[in-house]
Structure 1
Amino acid sequence: MWLERLYRGYQHYWLPLALLLLLTGMFWVGDRSLYHKLYYLTLAAPTLLLLLCRPHRFAFLCSEPLFLLFVGFALYVMLSLNWSPAPIDYSKLKHPLYIGMLIVAVAALGESDMRRLVGVVALASLFAVLAALVTITAHFAGPLSGYRLEGVGALYNPLLTSHVYGFFAVVWLAALVASPRLWAIKLLLFLALVFLLFLTGSRTPFMALGVCTAWLVVMVSDRRVIWLALALGVTVAIGLWFFDSALLERGLSYRPLIWADAWRQILPALWFGHGYDAGIDIVIVSLNVLLADPHNLTLGVVYQTGLVGGAMWLAIYVYSLLSAWRLRGSGLVLISSTLLVFGFAAGMTEGGSFMSRPKEHWFLIWIPLAIHLAVLRKIKADRLRAEMAG
């Protein structure tokens, strides 16, 4: 049947290419709107079309608790539009659909051939190192070499740039701990990305890398910690040698004041929130600055969806990490769960837009979640087949 052949072509050939474009597009697409369109045309639309034409091929997701937790959260977020103070913007309904298609597509690729999914992430991570080297060279050769590195392509902000490169740094760090094979190459690739992170002047990725370190120590608790200690020791040496105390000069950047004001504005609508798409204005009087987000993704969730939505948001992470703990013997679980930990930790000090069109925050939230779901699904499916065969 031609629809079945179309699905197989999508699964085996189109999906790996579309995912590679999503993972690397921020580096080479100069216009952010083009990056959005690239995702819509290459991944979101084809996945939705195949989902409508061959729904039984995606039926396995209906038995995945992590997918159901996401669907429940997304539906509640969309429901909260009804009590948002602004008129309902129906275009916002597309945002969970974009994210849902990412999760469905990555799960479908992992279901058909996990090696291809791993290969795509590895190839994208290599491309990220190449992009980092080009960006570092352009930074030092440019007129703003004494300032914070902003990024090239669709990347333009030091902090947001650190989200994307931090994601790929964690891939190499976790891969180094998961297996000592080619350890020297993995370490060098990790350090190249770390050097770029230092140049952004952002402290968020290093705080998140510290949390990832604790997670990896808990997950492995054996001689593989040596590789982790080696990576972190060289990272600290680079930081002290090239940057000294530059990252600490800005202190806490008013984060406690921002969070306190955000919580004050959360309290009037504590249980159900102010509604998705409700704006927030946080004023730092001493700087005469107006901020439009709480600089904490979890607080952003609670502000818009209340404690109910916050509990659903945290349930996604609790289930993901508990599942990772139970399957911690897998190197793939080690990598995917560490990506999830990095994103959650980084989101504790930055951001507020948790459900959006494709952008840097996807590398903190939804891309790690999609990869982790695919890995959990594949390992559980393989174990079930092994038990049935035994």
Structure 2
Amino acid sequence: MLRDRLFKGYVSSWMPVALFLLLTGMFWIGDRSLYHKLYYIMGAVPTLIVVCLCWRRFSFLREEPLFLLFIVFSFYVMLSLAWSPGAADYSKLKHPLYIGMLIVAVAAVGEHDMRRLVQALGLAGGVAALAALASSVAHVAAGQQARFEGFGALYNPLLTSHVYGFFAALWLGALLSSSRLRPLKLMMLVILVFLLFQTGSRTPFLALGFCFVWLLVLVADRRIVWLATALGIIAAAGLWLFGANLVERGLSYRPFIWVETWRQIMPALWFGHGYDADIDIVLTDVNVLLADPHNLTLAVVYQTGLIGGALWLAIYAYGFFGAWRLRSSGLVLISSTLLVYGFMAGMTEGGSFMSRPKEHWFLVWIPIAIHLAVLRKIKRSRAPGAPISAAA
């Protein structure tokens, strides 16, 4: 049937390419508005069309708690627009649709052929390492002493570190998914970490440190020894070359920002100020006005209250619990490492937890989408009577 051919072409060819373009587009597209359009044209709109025409093919998502938690969280976030101060911006109702199409698309590819999803991630990880290498060479050759800001659609050191840190976490998890050391994967990780040092951002290193602890808990065998040795050498070299950039800024007012955010949360503790509500935090010492709490979880609580915060944390709690149960799978090691990276990076930076495609998607929604697809595939492959899957 035509619908069957349409769906097969979508999951086996179109969407893997679209995912690859989404993951790598920041490096080469050169314009942020074009990056948004790239995702709408290649990912969101085709997915919406295929869902409408072949909706039965996506019915498996009704069985996935992680997807249902996302739906409930999104519905509550959009409902909170009703009590946002001033005139609510209802154009933001499109944001959960963009994110939902990503999750649905990645889950469908994983359900149909996990190898396609793994290939798209691997190729994107290779392109990220090449982009990091070219950027590092250009930055060093130019004799730049300032923090690396980025090329392509990347323009800010911290936001740039989100994207490259995502791929560093990908290769970190991939290293532990193998029973022995893979030099190519290690080389990819080294290149990406070297660029992260040049951004001068501490956030990715904090998050990667937690990723290592997470992998230590999940794996706990001799692989951790050689990984710890390799990471120790990388960290020592990076601190020797770029250490001053990392420590000279202290805590960057984070404790004050979080205390002030919590003070502003209290008047609307349970339901929040609304998804469209702005926050103003004044750093009087440096005469700076901040528009976000530099903590994604606090941003969720500020706008949606403790109820929204509980739903947000429930998404991660289920993701981590599912990873623990299926920790013997190499794919789960990778996807859960991405989840840990995004969650911990979001604890010290950010406020835009639900938005159009941008750097924060590499912290939140792309890891969640990948992790959902992997958990679903591994659970199915281990169900009684299921055929043995090489991906498990």
TM-score > 0.5 by shorter chain: yes
Query: Counterparts in 2 of 1:213-252, with a 5 A limit?
Result: 213-252=212-251
Q: Is the 8 A contact 1:169 1:193 kept in 2?
A: yes
Query: Counterparts in 2 of 1:47-126, with a 5 A limit?
Result: 47-126=47-126
Residues 187-234 of structure 1 show CA distances to partners (whole Å, capped at 9, x for unaligned) of 111010000000000000001111111101000011121232123112
Shift of 1:134: 1.2
Distance 1:117 1:181, change over 3 A: farther
Query: Counterparts in 2 of 1:288-303, with a 5 A limit?
Result: 288-303=287-302
Q: Is the 8 A contact 1:176 1:227 kept in 2?
A: no
Please tell me whether residue 319 in structure 1 is matched to residue 318 in structure 2: yes
Residues 150-178 of structure 1 show CA distances to partners (whole Å, capped at 9, x for unaligned) of 00000000000000000000111111111
Secondary structure in 1 matching 2:385 = helix
Counterpart of 1:306, as a letter, is G
Q: Is the 8 A contact 1:195 1:238 kept in 2?
A: no
Counterpart of 2:40, as a letter, is Y
Q: Is the 8 A contact 2:381 2:387 kept in 1?
A: no
The 1-side partners of 2:336 and 2:282 are apart by 36
Shift of 1:388: 8.7
Query: Counterparts in 2 of 1:132-151, with a 5 A limit?
Result: 132-142=132-142, 145-151=144-150
The 2-side partners of 1:38 and 1:340 are apart by 24
Q: Which moved more, 1:185-194 or 1:152-161?
A: 185-194
Distance 1:89 1:246, change over 3 A: closer
The 2-side partners of 1:342 and 1:252 are apart by 20
Q: Which runs of 4+ in 1 moved over 2 A?
A: 140-143, 385-389
Secondary structure in 1 matching 2:154 = coil
What is residue 336 of structure 2 aligned with on the other side? 337
Q: Which moved more, 1:229-238 or 1:345-354?
A: 229-238
Residues 346-379 of structure 1 show CA distances to partners (whole Å, capped at 9, x for unaligned) of 0000000000000000000000000000000001
What is residue 349 of structure 2 aligned with on the other side? 350
Secondary structure in 1 matching 2:370 = helix
Q: Is the 8 A contact 2:346 2:363 kept in 1?
A: yes
The 2-side partners of 1:280 and 1:32 are apart by 24
Q: Is the 8 A contact 2:380 2:386 kept in 1?
A: no
Distance 1:240 1:327, change over 3 A: same
The 2-side partners of 1:240 and 1:352 are apart by 29
TM-score normalised by length of structure 2? 0.97
Residues 317-356 of structure 1 show CA distances to partners (whole Å, capped at 9, x for unaligned) of 0000001000000000011001000000000000000000
Q: In percent, how many aligned pairs have the same letter?
A: 69
Counterpart of 1:328, as a letter, is R
The 2-side partners of 1:255 and 1:157 are apart by 19
The 1-side partners of 2:180 and 2:120 are apart by 19
Secondary structure in 2 matching 1:310 = helix
What is residue 372 of structure 1 aligned with on the other side? 371
Q: Is the 8 A contact 1:204 1:349 kept in 2?
A: yes
Shift of 1:60: 0.2
Which consecutive unaligned segments of at least 5 residues does structure 1 have?
none
Q: Is the 8 A contact 1:180 1:227 kept in 2?
A: no
Q: Which moved more, 1:380-389 or 1:108-117?
A: 380-389
Shift of 1:142: 3.3
The 2-side partners of 1:185 and 1:48 are apart by 37
Shift of 1:65: 0.4
Q: Which moved more, 1:271-280 or 1:170-179?
A: 170-179
Shift of 1:385: 5.3
What is residue 38 of structure 2 aligned with on the other side? 38
Distance 1:218 1:298, change over 3 A: same
Q: Is the 8 A contact 1:262 1:282 kept in 2?
A: yes
Which consecutive unaligned segments of at least 5 residues does structure 2 have?
none
